[in-house]
Structures are given as structure tokens and as C-alpha cells.
Amino acid sequence: MPDGESKSGAEKRRYPRANIMLKVQYRHAKDFLADYTENISAGGVFIATEERFEQGTKLDFEVSFPGLLDSIPLKGLVKWCRPARSPEEPAGIGIQFEQEQAISQGPLAQLVTKLKNSQSAQPTDAPVVFRVLLVEDNVVVRDMFRYGIQKLTTRKKFPGTSLEVEEAENGKQAWDMLKRQSFHLLVLDLYMPVMDGSKLIEHIRSDEKLKEIPIIVVSSGGREDRERALAAGADLFLSKPIKLKEMVETIESLIATNRPSAT
């Protein structure tokens, strides 16, 4: 079971745990729900969510990361709930997986093991470059994002991986760039001049050459914005302030375990 501060310490963990931000999609949800994980192990997961779940609720869901990790189906039981503490520690639930998913050969256990091993990987002769297009009209946010990427990727925590960030200040500029260059991931705000985020997503999803690009929306809006973004075709919605460190480390670690085929 995933550990909360009030539950148990590292010495009581039965399974290795990896801090990773993965998309969570509930199989039988009627609404456009898409939450994300904070950490995961072969025995359980902590899901950051604003939805209300009662302890004992059985959940059938999938975890993935746009463009880097295919969906892994999971089933589990809500064992505990955490109220919102701060923007860095949002509300969420601790899930204990069904017993058969905790076996060492399961896909989730294999992923956790790969994530742990990737941190000691050696550099390769041909470093992998992962290109991100950031679409945001606020220059302060763009500068923070670029600086954060540069600072985090200079640590060389994952040798052989490199993240490059291109910037656009509105949807129209981003659309023009997407038609000229290839990107592995698009990160955008909803509210922008000239062309907003929802319209840009709709353009991308209707274009045969671009429709598969993973899209993460980052916005200060609430549930209404999340539903709007996901309905337009976004893969994941993150509320501002974005958990940049967690997102960058997730991208780096998944690149190290499963290198993208795009060049």
C-alpha cells in the first residue's frame, strides 16, 4: 500500500516505491476524470485527486503517460484519504492493489523495477533528445518553465537523456511551429490570445500528421477547465502551480526505461 506520513515509514514498506507522475483514467467514470499519481509501487499507488472517494471503494482504472508509457490496467481498494494540505500536497487517495497485481512479474512491478534501475544507467553513445513545446502567453511562466527544465536536466540524474524546450506565446504561433517541427510533447495553457488552448487542441486532433502528439494542459482553472480541456482532446490536466520537478523527472525516467522512437 502507498505510504502516507500518518501511516507508515519507509521501513514498513513491502514493495519498492517510485515517485512518478502518471495519468490516471477511471474505466467507468461518467465524467471527464483524469487524475495523476504521486508515487507508485507493486503493492499500491497514491492518486492526487479532487474527487470524493469513500474508504473501501473499489476502483478499476489505468495508469499511463502520454507518448511514453502505454496504459497499464489496475484494480484496487481505497484504503485511506488525504485532505488537501497545500498546492504541493493536494488531496488524494491511497490505493491498495488486488493481490495478484503485486507479484514480481506483473507489468507494474516490472515498471517500478525499471524506474529504479534507470537511475543508475550509463550514458549512451547517442543521447536521446526529447522535445517539448510550451505554449503560454505569460512570459514569467515560460521563463520559470524553461529555467526549471534547464536546472533539472543539468543534474545528469538520467545519463543519455536531454530535454529541449521550444516556446510559443499563443495557439496560432504554436500551430505554425507544429507544422514545421516535430515534438514529443505539448504543454499548454487554455487561456491565450489569438488562438486559445482548446482551439489549438481541436486543430491538432483533427490533423492526420499531428493528432497523436501527447498534450498536457496546465491551467489555474478548476473542474470546468479540466472537463473542457479533456473534452477537446488533452491527455492530462494539471492545475497551476505546476509540479514541474515531478513532471520533468517522470519524463526523464520514462525516456531512460523506454526510449521514444521519434527523432
In this prediction, the residues of the chain whose per-residue pLDDT falls under 70 are: 1-16, 29-33, 87, 99-106, 109, 114-127, 150, 152-161, 240-242, 244, 256-263
CA distance 91 to 66: 23
pLDDT for position 4: 46
pLDDT for position 100: 54
Q: Where are the domains of the chain?
A: 10-118, 128-257
pLDDT for position 50: 81
Fold of 128-257: Rossmann fold (3.40.50)
CATH topology identical between 10-118 and 128-257: no
pLDDT for position 97: 86
Q: Per the confidence metrics, is the pTM higher than 0.75? A: no
Fold of 10-118: Thrombin, subunit H (2.40.10)
| Amino acid in the structure at residue 207 | D
pLDDT in tens, 200-210: 999 999 999 99
Contact 98, 75 (CB under 8 A): yes
Q: What is the CA radius of gyration of the chain?
A: 18
pLDDT for position 176: 95
pLDDT for position 5: 43
Cell numbers given for 93 = 487517495
